[in-house]
Amino acid sequence: MPAPVRSLESLHSALTSAFKSADTTAVAQLLSQIKIVLATSQLLFTNNPTSVPQDKALLIRDVFEIGALWSTHTQDIPAFERYMAQLRTYYTDYSHLPPSSRQCMLQGLDLLRLLSQNRISEFHASLELIPDSVQRNDKYVKFACVLEQCLMEGSYHKVWNLKKDCPAQEYVWFLGTLMETIRDEIASCSEKSYESLPLKDAQTLLSLNSLDELMKFSSTRSWVVNTMEDRLYFTPPTNPAEQKKHKVFGITGKDEAGMLGDEEPDMDVGSVIRQTLFYARELEKIV
């Protein structure tokens, strides 16, 4: 029994060094070896947290925290989810352990992951496990809470602006994923609300930096970009003359034969826009 424990301590020391030096290959190999040692020494799963010696429990918790951070560096979301699932046990059931300096940072990062995946109910369930004082005062958890509030208000521009205020480098990638989720939501709403928009307005609405980015994004959603009219069409025009212009000057995401049709839109777009603006004004009064 002592041998595996000494091996675990040695591997943990090597893992810490590899992580500090950003050696991702060595980190991956050491994490795999540590998992084997934990399983064979029966330290990985236990029904009684107090049965694990405190020094070993602290070591294992540190391994899982390094694994979670390493997963963000390699953009491996499934691995990050697995490490966080294991860490929740240490953060909740191992209350006899001294607090971890990484706990709030990782909890905030996990909350941001849930937001980026649009898993709002799970976000609130995870938030309930975090004390109110931490939610109010910790910069990592508070950052995730502010983002969620912006999303609920529909203040997407505030989300874009918060990118420069990321409390840690590990947050940048998840925030980028969240921005992609928001952009897809805005795109879906725009398709239902407008027939077309000026290219500049569409670029601003989707928070894209250039016309090239707008064209690439449009191609993924089969929109029509008419550079001659300087206009983006969410649905193809039904007028034959307009169809010809789009065929000559437009950029489409799929074959026009599969897009063009004679059906009129079922909804009154003007009415939808007026009603949406009315709701927005009423919401501003409430907030």
How far is the C-alpha of 29 from the C-alpha of 32, rounded, in Å? 5
97 in Cβ contact with 61 (< 8 Å): yes
What pLDDT does 58 receive? 93
105 residue type, one letter: M
38 in Cβ contact with 8 (< 8 Å): yes
What pLDDT does 163 receive? 81
- Choose from 3-17, 221-235, 243-257 the range with maximum mean pLDDT: 221-235
pLDDT tens, 47-102?
Answer: 777 778 888 899 999 999 999 999 999 999 999 999 999 999 899 888 889 999 99
What pLDDT does 248 receive? 36
pLDDT tens, 146-189?
Answer: 999 998 888 888 888 888 889 999 998 888 888 888 898 889 88
Residue listed under structure tokens 């027939």: 195
Contacts (Cβ under 8 Å, ≥6 apart) of 174 = 72, 109, 112, 113, 116
What DSSP string describes 48-112?
-GGGS-HHHHHHHHHHHHHHHHHHHHTT-HHHHHHHHHHHHHHHHT-TTSPPPTTHHHHHHHHHH
Query: Mean pLDDT throughout 229-258?
Result: 56
Chain length of the chain: 287
Residue 274: pLDDT band (50, 70, 90) is low
Share of the chain above pLDDT 90, in %: 47
Query: Mean pLDDT throughout 126-143?
Result: 93
pLDDT tens, 96-121?
Answer: 899 999 999 999 999 999 999 989 99
Please state, rounded to an integer, the average pLDDT across all residues of the chain: 82
Residue 139: pLDDT band (50, 70, 90) is very high
Tell if the pTM clears 0.85, that is, is over it. no
